[in-house]
Homo-oligomer: A and B are copies of this chain.
C-alpha cells in the first residue's frame, strides 16, 4: 500500500527530520486497521512496571505472557505496541516485523513514591529490537522535571541521529500544579506545547478536563475564551498548542466510567482533530475477544 495523501501531509510537517525518522513514522501511520488515515491507536503495556503484575494482569491472566500482548496488538490491528525492555525482548524474534514497536525508555513503580521515573532502557536496545521509536515520560512541574527534560534532550539527540521517533508522554504534576490541574485544560495545552518544543515526534497527553489551573494563565483564558465546556473544543485547543495541529498527538485517560463514555471520548478526540488514542488497561484486562471487539469499535470511529 502506498502512502496516502494524508500520511504524506503529516510527514511534510516533520521537515527538520531525516528520511530515516520519517520512514519510521510512515511505518507506524501505514500499519494496521487505521493505516493511511492519519489516525493511530497504540497498545501500551507499562502498567506492570507502574502498578505491579497482579494489578495489571490478574483480571486476564493470559496477559502475564509477553507473547499474548504481541498477539493482541497484531490480531487487533493496532498501529503500534509500546512497552518496557523485557516485554519487547520476549517476542521480538517470534513476531519480528509484524507490528511497529516503541521501546519505553523510562519507568516508575509504585513501591516508591515520588514524581520521577528511572531510565530502564537504551537507544541501543531499541535499535537491536527493530523499534520504530522510543517512548519517554516527562513530568513538567515536578522537582526533577528539569533533569527529565535534559534526559529527554539527550535521548532525543541519540534517537534522531539513528532515525528513531520520540514518543513523549507529557504528564504535568507537582510544582505549581494542583491535583485537579494535572488534567486542567491550560496545563495539558502547556504540556503538549512543551513536548512539541522539545522536538517530540508524537505527543501523548491525558484528555483534558474543563478545569483551568494556573493563576498566571487565567486572565488570558478570560480574555480569549476557548469554550472549554465542549470536549471537542478542548481537544482543538490542545491540538492548536501542538504547533497548530502540525504534530501527531494521541490521548489517554479521560475519566470515562464505562465503555460508552470511552467511545464518546474517542469521538471528541476525532472531532477535535486529535490523532488517536493509547488504549492500555481497557484492552489487555479484557478477554482477547472482548479487547479486539472494543479496539475495532474505537478504530472504526477513527477510520
Residues of B within 8 A of A117 (CB): 146
Shortest Cβ distance from A196 into B: residue = B86
Does B199 lie within 8 Å of A243, measured CB to CB? no
Q: A54-B186, A66-B246 are in contact. Are A15 and B89 (CB under 8 A)?
A: yes
Does A111 lie within 8 Å of B145, measured CB to CB? yes
Residues of B within 8 A of A59 (CB): 223-224
Distance A197 CA – B93 CA, assembled complex (angstroms): 17
Shortest Cβ distance from A65 into B: residue = B244
Shortest Cβ distance from A111 into B: residue = B141
Q: A64-B240, A197-B85 are in contact. Are A146 and B118 (CB under 8 A)?
A: yes
- Min C-beta distance of A299 to chain B, whole Å: 28
Does B55 lie within 8 Å of A86, measured CB to CB? no
Does A55 lie within 8 Å of B196, measured CB to CB? no
| Interface set of A (CB-CB < 8 Å, partner B) | 13-17, 48-49, 51-55, 58-59, 61, 64-66, 84-94, 107, 109-113, 116-122, 124-125, 128-129, 140-142, 145-147, 149-150, 153, 157, 161, 172, 174-177, 186-187, 189-190, 192-194, 196-200, 214, 216-217, 220-221, 223-224, 226, 237, 240-241, 243-244, 246
Shortest Cβ distance from A143 into B: residue = B112
- Count identical subunits in the complex: 5
Does A111 lie within 8 Å of B94, measured CB to CB? no
Residues of B within 8 A of A194 (CB): 49, 109
Residues of B within 8 A of A119 (CB): 149-150, 153
Q: A49-B197, A55-B220, A66-B243 are in contact. List 20 more A-B contacts (CB 8 A).
A: A15-B94, A49-B194, A51-B216, A52-B217, A53-B192, A54-B186, A54-B217, A64-B240, A64-B241, A84-B197, A85-B198, A109-B145, A111-B140, A111-B172, A111-B176, A112-B141, A118-B146, A118-B153, A120-B198, A124-B157
Distance A116 CA – B150 CA, assembled complex (angstroms): 13
Does B110 lie within 8 Å of A216, measured CB to CB? yes
Distance A179 CA – B224 CA, assembled complex (angstroms): 30
Q: List 9 A-B contacts (CB under 8 A).
A: A15-B94, A52-B190, A52-B214, A53-B193, A61-B240, A64-B243, A65-B243, A90-B246, A120-B150
Q: A111-B187, A140-B112 are in contact. Are A93 and B172 (CB under 8 A)?
A: no
Distance A190 CA – B58 CA, assembled complex (angstroms): 13
